[in-house]
Each structure stands twice: as structure tokens, then as C-alpha cells.
């Protein structure tokens, strides 16, 4: 049985669909079914269910709000993760932790490797890095998978925001000096299921192939959606946010290659398929 936390989020939703389609036994939960910050509740939950593996997607992800809501962010991302890790350790389950490019400061000129030191710029990034370290030091049967710029059918994301603004505005200013890779949750969910069914423990980076800036991504979305809205590239300094973001979020996939896992399709291919999925689900873009 695979336990999927954060089941109502973008990634949790796609993981559930894949498990259902492949007849993989799973249990999807959100905070209404289990408060992961309650250690006793987590232990009781593990006593009630036979859990072989956990894919831990649940997280506080409001990056800017976390700067003011540090306690809540840390309670969910650190304490909640610790409770799950301790429960896994107790019963011998393996755990896959979904992490983020925000554990890095973005100062490196080259691609970030899985073994590079973490140096987060934000409260959110710090909470995920602390959780990663606890997992590495506590649970031998662990996978840490870092993704970035996630988009999926079930929830809010950059692609949906651009499509909405494209209907409302003649032009949109988008940051052009932050670089990384989008991650289609439908694609990475397939990979996570492969990883969790293996014993190839360790850290992985899993995003769609290729790199772009936010403004390049926005321009591609507009072209593919046949939207005439003009994308105006701006610098990060022209768009101040409460939380600092890494300028370079380009992640190396060498660990995937070394373990024999397939890389994800290109981000452009992923956007193409996602736009089709949106039409199929909502009838229009």
C-alpha cells in the first residue's frame, strides 16, 4: 500500500490517477483525513493501516506568505515530515519526499547536482532543506525528489495564471532573469511511481527536459494558446517579492541517468499536452 499525502494537490491528484489506472494499491489523504503535524495521529494512522511506502507531497507552498507565516510553514514542512519519517522508521516503510529547487540559492553558474550544498534564500526553502536533512539522517529507505515550476490539472499554477491574464490584458510583465525547468505533474507522477517501487534510494532531480526563463515560458504558452497578449520581459529587481527566489534553478538529471530511470519529455512537449488536457477537462483554454 502506498500512502500519498497532499492528495488534493496537483501532484497528489495525478499520482492517484496513475495508481488507479495501474491497479496499484494506494491511500490518498489530505489534511482533513490526517493532520501530519499531530505526531500521535500519524502514529495511530500507521497502526491502523499497512503502509509499505509513502509519497509525501503535502506541504506549505505559499512561498511569499511563508515569510510572515514561518511557524505554520515549519510546522507543516518540518514537523509534519518528521512525524511521517519517524512512523516509517518504526514500521519499516520507505518514503519519497517531494522537494524543491528552492533549497538552492541560485548562485551557481552551472547545473545544480543532487550532492550540491543547500543554501535556501526563503523560509519555504529553508523548511524543505531542514526536512531533507532530517530524512537523510534518520531513514535509510528514502528518496528525495526535487522538482520545480510545477503545473498540473488540479490546482493553481503559472500556466493557468498566464492563460487567465491573457484573456484580460493586452500585455503582461514577466521575469526574464530566473532560469529553470517546468515540471508537468502528470509526467513526474509516472516517474515517482517507478522510483517508489524500486530500492534505488537517494536524491534525484526530476523536471521536464530543457531550460527557460519565466518570460520564455509565458511567451510559449501565449503562442500555443493562440493568444495575442504581449509578454514584456522584466528583471527580478523590477518585480520585488517578499521571498527571494533562486535565479538559477537549472537541475542536473545525472542521478536519474545513473539509476537507470528515464528522463521526462521536454517542457515544450509537456506544455503542449497540458493545454490539450485543459481543453479536455474544461472545454476551453
Q: What is the pLDDT of residues 113-148, one digit of tens each?
A: 999 999 999 999 999 999 999 999 999 999 999 999
**pLDDT bucket at 171, cuts 50 / 70 / 90:** very high
Q: Cell 548562485 appears where?
A: 107
Q: Is 90 exposed, middle or buried (0-12, 13-18, 19+ CB in 10 A)?
A: exposed
Share of the chain above pLDDT 70, in %: 99
Q: Which of 146, 124, 115, 137 is nearest to 75 (CA)?
A: 124
**Domain membership of residue 146 as a residue range:** 2-155+182-210+250-265
| Prediction pTM value | 0.94
Q: Could you tell me the three cell numbers for 167?
A: 484573456
What total number of domains does the chain contain?
Answer: 1
3 state SS of 33: coil
Provide the pLDDT for residue 282: 74
Distance of CA 23 to the CA centre of its chain: 24
Q: Is residue 123 part of a domain?
A: yes
Q: Is residue 151 part of a domain?
A: yes
The 3-state DSSP composition of the chain as helix, strand, coil percent (nearest 5) reads 45, 20, 35
**pLDDT bucket at 285, cuts 50 / 70 / 90:** low
Q: Is the pLDDT of residue 255 over 90?
A: yes
Q: How many Å apart are CA 115 and CA 204, to the nearest integer? A: 10
The one catalytic residue among 124, 204, 220, 274: 124
Q: Is the pLDDT of residue 283 over 90?
A: no
Clarify whether 102 is annotated catalytic: no
Q: Is residue 172 part of a domain?
A: no
CATH number, domain with residue 129: 3.40.50.720
Q: Is residue 107 part of a domain?
A: yes
Contact 172, 227 (CB under 8 A): no
Q: Is residue 281 part of a domain?
A: no
Q: Could you tell me the three cell numbers for 155?
A: 490546482
Residues 6+ apart with CB under 8 A from 283: none
Half-sphere exposure of residue 260: CA atoms within 13 angstroms, side-chain side: 5
Q: How many Å apart are CA 74 and CA 57, to the nearest integer? A: 15
Q: Is residue 103 part of a domain?
A: yes
Residues 6+ apart with CB under 8 A from 96: 53, 54, 55, 56, 142, 143, 144, 145, 192, 195, 196
Q: How many Å apart are CA 77 and CA 130, to the nearest integer? A: 9
Q: Is 86 exposed, middle or buried (0-12, 13-18, 19+ CB in 10 A)?
A: middle
Q: Is residue 69 part of a domain?
A: yes
Q: Is residue 223 part of a domain?
A: no
**pLDDT bucket at 281, cuts 50 / 70 / 90:** confident
**pLDDT bucket at 284, cuts 50 / 70 / 90:** low
Q: Which of 221, 214, 149 is nearest to 178 (CA)?
A: 214
Which residues is 66 bridged to in the sheet? none
Question: How is 182-241 classified by DSSP, letter by letter?
Answer: -EEHHHHHHHHHHHHTS---EEEE--EES-EEHHHHHHHHHHHTT--PEEEEE-GGGS--
Amino acid at each position: 500500500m502506498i500512502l500519498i499525502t497532499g492528495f488534493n494537490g496537483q501532484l497528489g491528484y495525478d499520482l492517484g490517477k496513475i495508481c488507479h489506472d495501474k491497479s496499484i494499491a494506494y491511500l490518498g489523504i489530505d489534511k482533513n483525513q490526517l493532520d501530519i503535524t499531530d505526531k500521535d495521529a500519524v502514529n495511530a494512522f500507521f497502526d491502523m493501516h499497512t503502509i509499505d511506502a509513502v509519497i509525501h507531497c503535502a506541504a506549505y507552498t505559499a512561498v511569499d506568505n511563508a515569510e510572515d507565516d514561518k511557524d505554520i510553514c515549519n510546522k507543516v514542512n518540518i514537523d509534519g515530515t518528521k512525524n511521517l519519517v519517524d512512523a516509517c522508521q518504526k514500521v519499516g516503510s520507505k518514503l519519497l519526499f517531494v522537494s524543491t529547487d528552492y533549497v538552492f540559492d541560485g548562485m551557481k553558474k552551472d547545473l545544480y547536482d543532487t550532492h550540491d550544498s543547500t543554501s535556501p534564500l526563503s523560509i519555504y526553502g529553508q523548511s524543505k532543506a531542514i526536512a531533507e536533512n532530517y530524512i537523510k539522517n534518520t531513514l535509510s529507505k528514502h528518496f528525495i525528489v526535487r522538482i520545480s515550476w510545477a503545473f498540473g490539472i488540479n490546482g493553481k499554477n503559472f500556466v493557468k495564471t498566464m492563460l487567465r491574464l491573457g484573456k484580460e490584458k493586452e500585455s503582461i510583465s514577466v521575469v526574464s532573469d530566473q532560469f529553470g525547468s517546468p515540471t508537468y505533474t502528470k509526467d513526474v507522477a509516472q516517474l515517482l511511481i517507478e522510483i517508489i517501487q524500486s530500492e534505488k534510494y537517494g536524491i534525484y532531480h526530476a523536471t521536464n527536459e530543457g531550460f527557460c526563463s519565466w518570460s520564455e515560458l509565458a511567451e510559449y504558452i501565449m503562442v500555443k494558446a493562440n493568444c495575442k497578449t504581449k509578454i514584456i520581459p522584466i528583471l527580478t529587481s523590477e518585480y520585488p517579492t517578499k521571498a527571494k527566489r533562486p535565479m538559477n534553478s537549472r537541475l542536473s538529471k545525472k542521478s536519474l541517468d545513473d539509476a537507470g530511470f528515464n528522463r521526462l519529455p521536454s517542457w515544450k512537449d509537456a506544455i503542449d499536452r497540458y493545454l490539450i488536457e485543459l481543453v479536455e477537462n474544461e472545454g476551453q483554454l
